[in-house]
Amino acid sequence: MLVRLAYLAVTQTFAALRLLPMTDREKDAEILALRHQLGLLQRQLDGQRPRFHAADRAFLAALLTPLPRATLGRLRLLVSPDTVLRWQRNLLKHRHARASADRHPGRPRTHASIRRLVLRLATENPAWGYRRIHGELALLSIRIAPSTVWEILKTEGIDPAPQRTTVTWADFLRSQAQAILSMDFIEAVTLTGQRQYILAAVHHADRRVRILGTTAHPTHAWVTQAIRNLVMDLEDAGQLAAVKFLIRDRDAKYPPLINEILDQAGVTTTLTGIRIPRMNSIAERWVGTLRRELLDRTLIWNEQHLRHALNAYEQHYNEHRTHRTLQAAAPLRALPEPLDAEQIGRLDIRRHDRLSGVIHEYRHAC
């Protein structure tokens, strides 16, 4: 456009110089001839609108805008006076926009990593408002305006802090998982028709399962000894100081003495509501897993066979079975390092069976 506009300016300048030696009569004759030729071209167009390049519009606007509107109305042009004035306004608008862009480039866009960090802080800290998040970013040497933090939260549909500080039961239990232990009885029936009672405990934080024993007669003395064994096991593992609550139901098989034993160890017993198994959901979910993966797939001959099967399943559950809560790790085994391309190219996976193939585990050959 600039090249074309410069060409038009040069050519028209030479045309203006050619008019200097001409008399008024010669100019009038040329004007009449040009008007006649213009009328001829308009008849040939037959109602079609002529096409003007951007340079043509700029040149005509600069040439004709200084003339009064009445004079523009008397001139015989291919366009109306309003069109010429509109070209002039657009020319000034574009010129002002370019000048403003050069002087004021505007606020730079917020980096995507900063946006992700703002959303992470808001998600992990529901009580933090945009001002508190802005202060935390300042401590991290991230310079950003408080209004920008507010805009990021609003764009993502995150409510202000007072409206998102409500703590759900799931969030509360998750935050207190290190201090919670669940316990429950599971019933199993042997091939002889004898009913067996399995007592197990689950730690909420690492999902480790401890099968405390199985018996056909869960007397108060047997349950009390199982609880003493649990306390000693937690103490040997260094977890007793962290465990503060034990959740169980109101089964009559639990003697009152176990509450005193747990209180002396610093563990408070919390009873679930009547017929509300969801209050002990972690233990109930593990019971369902035990039934689906072991008890419903195995014929239990007697109490000794059941103890053997439970011991093997406890080892599999704690040392090998993956858990979504632990990001696919096992309670007693962290995730290994990812394989490199060379190792993936020569995979050699072997299957290890437990309980005669009821449970399958897969491991590398070496």
**Spatial separation of the C-alpha atoms in residues 229 and 214, rounded to whole Å:** 13
CATH number where 261 lies: 3.30.420.10
Is residue 22 very low, low, confident or very high in pLDDT (cuts 50, 70, 90)?
low
Report yes or no on 39 lying in a domain.
yes
Q: What pLDDT is attached to residue 166?
A: 58
Residue 215 to residue 196: CA distance in whole angstroms: 6
Residue-number span of the structural domain to which 263 is assigned = 176-333
239 with 217, same domain: the answer is yes
Identify whether 38 is part of a domain: yes
Are 91 and 140 in a shared domain? Answer: no
Domain match, 196 and 319 both: yes
Dump pLDDT digits (tens) for 246-280.
999 999 999 999 999 999 999 999 999 888 888 89
* Residue 186 located in a structural domain: yes
Say how many domains are in the chain. 3
216 and 75 together in one domain: no
The full DSSP string for 26-72 is HHHHHHHHHHHHHHHHHHHHTTPPPP--HHHHHHHHHHHTTS-HHHH
Q: Is the pLDDT of residue 76 over 60?
A: no
Do 127 and 84 share a structural domain? no
278 in helix, strand or coil?
helix
Length of the chain: 366
d(CA 37, CA 20): 23
* Contact (CB, 8 A) for 197 and 207: no
Condensed to tens digits (0 to 9), the pLDDT of residues 104-118 reads 555 677 888 899 999
Same domain, 64 and 116: no
Final residue belonging to a domain, choices 121, 136, 163? 163
Nearest CA among 295, 325, 118, 88 for reference residue 202: 325
| Residue scoring higher pLDDT (204 or 35) | 204
Residue 320 has pLDDT above 60, yes or no: yes
Answer yes or no: do 249 and 316 share one domain: yes
- Is 244 inside any structural domain? yes
Mean pLDDT score across all residues of the chain: 82
Q: Assess whether 192 and 310 both reside in one domain.
A: yes
Pair 58, 5: CB distance under 8 Å = yes
pLDDT tens for residues 344-359? 888 888 899 999 889 9
Say yes or no: 55 and 131 in one domain: no
Verify that 181 and 325 share a domain, yes or no. yes
Residue 90 lies in a domain: yes
**Angle (nearest 5°) at CA 252 between 246 and 254:** 40
Kindly give the residue spans of alpha helices, DSSP state H, lying in 181-270. 220-236, 257-264
pTM: 0.58
Provide the pLDDT for residue 89: 75
Q: What is the pLDDT of residue 284?
A: 94
Question: DSSP code of 216?
Answer: S
- Using only C-alpha atoms, what is the Rg of the chain? 43
Lowest mean pLDDT among 65-69, 237-241, 298-302: 65-69
> What SS3 class is residue 250?
coil
In angstroms, the CA 264 to CA 266 distance is: 5
Judge whether 106 lies within some domain. no
Regarding whether 149 and 234 lie in a shared domain, the answer is: no
**With contact defined as beta carbons under 8 Å apart, do 61 and 79 qualify?**
no
Position 121: which residue type?
L
Asked if residue 354 belongs to a domain, the reply is no
Burial annotation 155-175 (CB, 10 A radius, 16+ → b, else e)? eeebeebeebeeeeeeeeeee
Structure tokens at 303: 């109490």
Strands 245-248 and 209-215: unpaired
Q: How many CA atoms lie within 13 A of 22 on its CB side?
A: 13
CB 300 within 8 A of CB 189: yes
Nearest to 207 by CA among 168, 241, 174: 174
- DSSP secondary structure code for residue 164 in this structure: S
136 lies in the same domain as 209: no
Is residue 104 in a domain?
no
